[in-house]
Structures are given as structure tokens and as C-alpha cells.
Chain A
Amino acid sequence: MKLLRLIEFLRQRQKTVIRACLAVLVLLVIADALPFLVDKHHAHTKAEHLPGFWAAFGFVACVLIVIVSKAFGHAGIMTREDYYDE
């Protein structure tokens, strides 16, 4: 069960894992801003040339999806589990 040990190893160091993940996020945006690393030649729109455009897009998309869907669900679409029972 080496896999289990790995999962538990990471769980014990949760704070370090979180810090490492945040560092990756920051590096990703920095890399996106460096033309010699990421060639934006193939971008389709002007907005995409902004550094971190897709990062902002991803984050906003996620928040939007969660909030809009939950609002939709709580507007009457979500109902009790035995709704269809007779």
C-alpha cells in the first residue's frame, strides 16, 4: 500500500502542500507574462495578450458557475429526494 502512505504523507504536510500549490499558481502567471516562455503569437483575441488573462478567466468562471448554478438550484429546481414517490 505505498499509494496510501503517499497520500497520508501529503495529508500530514497539508500546509506545505497548499503553499507549494499557491507558488505554482504564481509561477504560472509569471510565465504567462514572459514572451520568450509563452509565445502569444497564436492568441485569437487581444484580451488574451494580457498576462494572466486565462487565470482570471478560470477563477471567474469557477465562481460564476458555482454561484449561478446554486442560485438556479435554490430557485425551486432542487427538491426533496422523495419528490417523485407516490
Chain B
Amino acid sequence: MSDLWLHPSLILLAGALLLPLVPASLRRGWLLAVPALTFLRILLMSRGTFGEVHFLQFHLVFGRVDALSNVFGYIMGLMCIVGSLYGLHVKRAVEHVAAWTYVAGSLGAIYAGDFVTLFLFWELMALSSVFLIWFRGREESLAAGYRYLLVHMAGGVALLAGIMLHYQATKSMAFVALDVKAPTMATYLIMIGFILNAAVPPLHAWLPDAYGEATFNGSVFLCAFTTKTAVYALCRGLPGMQILVVLGVIMALYGVVYAVLENDSRRLLAYHIVSQVGYMVAGVGLGTELAINGACAHAFAHILYKGLLFMGCGSVLHMTGKSKFTELGGLYSRMPWTFLFTLIGGLSISAFPLFSGFVSKSMIVQAGFEDHKLWAAFLLMLASAGTFLHTGLKVPYFIWFGKNHCSKETWERAAEPPWNMMAAMAITSFLCIFIGCYTPYLYRMLPHPVHYEPYTAYHVSETLQVLLFTGLGFFLLLKKLEPEAKISLDLDWPYRMGGRAFLWLARKPIQGLDNLVGEIYSAGGIAPLMASARLSAVFDNKVIDGAVDGYVASFRHLGGRPRTA
């Protein structure tokens, strides 16, 4: 049976490969049909282990379909449909090819049952996603793309080293939960590989760097797949790894702090990915059934609302060419629907009752309280306040209201985006509200049975108080929150400046030394060489030639003797 099993990634890869050959009149149909077929394939897959291949001494498993991989596969497939619809009007076929290859990498990693397959698809994701940054075509995007690639390659090497050590110790490549009670070097290296993709500080700076620089629809794909595939890998490989609770809480707060300072709307959203993935990482670290359910549910909800937020800000970028708060403002009269959709994304990420974040984020906080990690739970609540402050209030307020910083050109260009972008945002908005209102839809998909009810009077009262009083604080501190046209230094500083120091080292001391050696060579080496060459020329002319001439002359003389004799 396993020979006939069709991997969903294959549909996407084949679709991507054929896309440039599809005639222009059928292009849009193709762009919708391929992701829809992939999603259908995911829906129809039965549970079990498929696609087993023996390669060298390894036992590769391409299709491990169980509750955990299914919930992630489902949301990735769904997001691929929405993302493709959003970018439907993009004419360059290669942009779609890159996006689909990237999604195929993510699905491949999710359904991988062994480390070799996981690593293969893991690298495919990094290699294909970098094009979504490069296609923006700016000089900065090229540089950001290279940095993105280098950082991910470094993470890939750590992961590979961990896998090798793990194989050496256990003689098994199966991708199952590692022993987190007695972590070895292999466990830590694999963890580094995973948390680099999950953007855990100090390995996170690639994310705002790259996602702020990608194409308007590239960021919609980017924000969903890399970090959440990493969350899946953490759920699968390292549940209950205690250090992840600490890292997750730090992440949740770190993103919030940088979001206060950020002036670029898409970079702000990127910092809030760091913050939100922090909840999931903390959930994985807690490792209880409720916490793992929470991490999966939050990843599911997050992909939709973060995609929606990136679509909203991407629409503004696409229509006006601007993404900085200090170059926008007051756009509500030009793009009211985009405002509404972005607001729905903002309310969902902030976990307002009736929106998706409410039913997912609270599971993780609850798990923290139940595990008696009060500090973690309270700090995550603090980060929740920060989330609403920025994504729910700062983003909509400073783009669509606030002081109008638009130039005349920006203002004239501003309008609602094309129908397909509006449709993608409307569908995602609907899903965000649907998940928030009808909990069984999401809860039934989770890997463990759910005994959790988010809609209790206390929980609703608690959440509304935290959020609405944060809102009060926002409007009281509005002057202080006015965006500044600055950038914030982050932990990409060491390698950006380190790279420059390396270049300086290569240019100044090393190249200088090379020049010096060249000069010493030309002064101290060439001159004696020339002198010795001249000497040998004289020797050649006088001595050798003389000897040869003399020899020939005497030979002729000798030869002449018998002739004349």
C-alpha cells in the first residue's frame, strides 16, 4: 500500500514545476486548484505510517500521519490556499514556485517520521523561502536574504550535527521524543537547530530582519511556515524540556519590548511573532497534555491571525509603497475594509473573547498556573497586555488614524487592494472569528483530548479587564507612543558588524600584508632576478654561444679537410 501513498508535498512540487508552462489564461485557476488539491489530500489522508523507504542503512519515513502531524498539516494546507489567493495577481511565476516549494518543505518536515527526511525538507524550506525575500528586489532585501540564508545554514549545521550524534548514540534515525530528563550534547544541538527556526532569542534576529524586507505576499507565507514548523518539531521532539519554559517567557516579553520601539509596521508584526511563538515554546517546555494542546492550538490560531495581520499591512505596502508609521496615518477613509480586517487580526492576536487567540493562548497560561509556575503564567499575562498594546492598538491606530504623515503621492496611491487580496483577508477574518466562537472546530483536531472550557465568567472577566485597561493606558500614553523614525539595534548587530569587521580584516591587514609581500618581492626579488637573468644572458651570449660557434667552426674546418685533401 505504501507505494501508492501520495505525499501532499508532491502535489505542490509538481504544481510548482508545471506552473511556468501553464498558459496565462489558465494561470489563476491553476494557482487556486493546486493548493486546494493539496489541502484535499491532507484532509483525506488516513492515519498511519506511509512512504517507507530503505536508503543506505537508514529507514526513511515520508508519511507519519497522526494527530500531531495532522493538526499542523491541516493549517499549513489551509494557509497555502489563503496565501496563494492573496498573491493571485502576482505575475512572476517564480514567486509562486518559491512559495509552493517552501510550503512543500514545511509539509514534508511535518509528515517526516525520521531525522534524515526531516532535515532534507528543513533545508528545502530555508533554500526556497529566501527567494521570497530576494524577489522584493531592493538592495536591502538582497542583503537581508543573504543574512537569512547564512543564519539558517548555521542552524541546519547544528541540527545535522545533533542528528549525527543522536544516531551514533542510539543507532536510530526515528524522529520521536528525545530524552529530555537527561539531555546530551545531541539533544542540545537538535534543540538549537529547532529553536533557531522558532526564532528564540538570542537566535531570533533573522526574523524581523527578513520578514520586514520580503515581498508583500512573501511575508504572508514566511510568517506562517518556518516558525510553526519549528514549533511542531519541538512538540514532537522535546516536550517537557524545562529550559524551554524560561526561553519561551523571555521570548514573549522580548518581542513586546522591541515592538514598542519599532517604526516599521511589518517589523513590528515580526517582533510579535517572536512574542507569540514564545507562548508556544513555553507550552512545549511545560509539556503537559494541556500545554501541548495549547501550543498546537495557538500555532493553528496564530498562523491565521498573523497571516491576516501581514495581509493587512502588506496591502498598505502594496498600495502605497510604505510600511513605516512615520510615513503613514489617517488612511481609514482610503482603506476602511483593510482597516477592519487588520483590526480583526489584532483582536484575535490579543485574545479578545470571541476571537481565535482567546481559545488558544489561555490554554498555555492555564497550563502554567496548573503546573504551579506562577511566574511564567503572570509574565505571559503581562506579554498579553503588550500584544494588545501594539498589534491591537498601535498598528491600526498609527496607520489608519493618528496623525497623517502621508506624502501627497502616498495619499493618492492609497486605496483598497485588488479583490483577491480582499477576499483572502475576508476568509481569514471569518476563520479567526469562527475559531473563537465555535471551539470544537479547533479543539477536536488537537493531539490530546480537551477538558478545557475557555468561556467561563471568570476567564472572560479577567481577559477583558487586562485588555481594556491596557487600552486605557494606551490612550493615556499616546504621546509617548508616537512612532520615531529610528531603527533598533538587535542581536543581528554582532554578525552584521562582525561581517564588516571580517571584511575590514580582509581588506586592510590581510590585503595590506599581501601587497607588502608583493612589493618586497618586486623590490627585493625582481631586481636580483633581473640581474641574474642579465648575467646569464651575457654568459649565454659570450660563453655558450662562443663555445658553440667555436665548436661549429672547428667542425667545419675539420669537415673541410677531407674535402680539400
Contacts and interface: CB of A to CB of B under 8 A. Distances in A.
Interface of A: 1, 3-4, 7-8, 21, 24-25, 28-29, 31-32, 37-45, 48, 52, 54-59, 61-70, 72-73, 76-81, 83-84, 86
A84 B499 CA distance: 12
A65 B382 contact: yes
Contact of A62 (B257, B339, B470): B470
Contacts of B486: 78-81
Contact of B256 (A43, A48, A52, A69): A69
B265 to A, nearest CB: 15
B325 to A, nearest CB: 13
Closest 8 CB pairs of A and B: A62-B473, A69-B260, A58-B469, A58-B466, A61-B385, A54-B465, A55-B465, A73-B261
B257 A61 contact: no
Contact of A70 (B260, B386, B466, B474): B260
Interface in B473-488: 473-474, 477, 480-481, 484-488
A45 B471 CA distance: 25
Given A39-B458, A54-B461, A54-B466, A78 B488 contact: yes
A44 B369 contact: yes
Interface of A, helix, strand, loop or mixed by DSSP: helix
Interface stretch (B68-76, B102-110, B330-338): B330-338
B467 A69 contact: no
Interface residues of B, number: 48
Nearest to B497: A84
Given A43-B458, A65-B260, A69-B260, 20 more contacts: A7-B332, A25-B472, A31-B461, A37-B457, A38-B461, A41-B458, A45-B374, A48-B462, A55-B466, A57-B385, A58-B467, A62-B386, A65-B257, A69-B258, A70-B261, A77-B489, A78-B487, A79-B486, A80-B487, A81-B486
Contacts of A21: 468, 471
Nearest to A6: B336
B261 A65 contact: no
B456 A61 contact: no
A81 B261 CA distance: 13
Interface in B433-478: 456-459, 461-474, 477
Interface of B, helix, strand, loop or mixed by DSSP: helix
B16 interface: no
A61 B256 CA distance: 11
Contacts of A8: 333
Interface of B: 256-258, 260-261, 332-333, 336-337, 339-340, 369, 374, 377, 381-382, 385-386, 389, 456-459, 461-474, 477, 480-481, 484-489, 496, 500
Contacts of B369: 44
Contact of B458 (A25, A38, A59): A38
A52 B489 CA distance: 38
Contacts of A24: 468
Contact of B488 (A3, A39, A48, A77): A77
B476 to A, nearest CB: 8
Contacts of A42: 456, 458-459
Contacts of B496: 84
A48 B459 CA distance: 11
B489 A61 contact: no
B261 A4 contact: no
Contact of A3 (B340, B456, B471, B484): B340
A61 B388 CA distance: 11
Contacts of A7: 332-333, 336, 339
Nearest to B256: A65
A28 B464 contact: yes
Given A25-B472, A54-B466, A62-B473, A81 B336 contact: no
Contact of B261 (A28, A31, A64, A78): A78
Contacts of B381: 57, 61
Contacts of B500: 86
B461 A69 contact: no
B466 A44 contact: no
Contacts of A44: 369, 374, 377
Contacts of B256: 65, 69
Contacts of A84: 487, 496
A65 B391 CA distance: 14
Nearest to A59: B469
Contacts of B457: 37-39
B458 A79 contact: no
B260 A57 contact: no
Nearest to A81: B487
Contacts of A77: 261, 488-489
A28 B480 contact: no
B336 A58 contact: no
Contact of A28 (B258, B468, B485, B489): B468
Contact of B389 (A65, A72, A80): A65
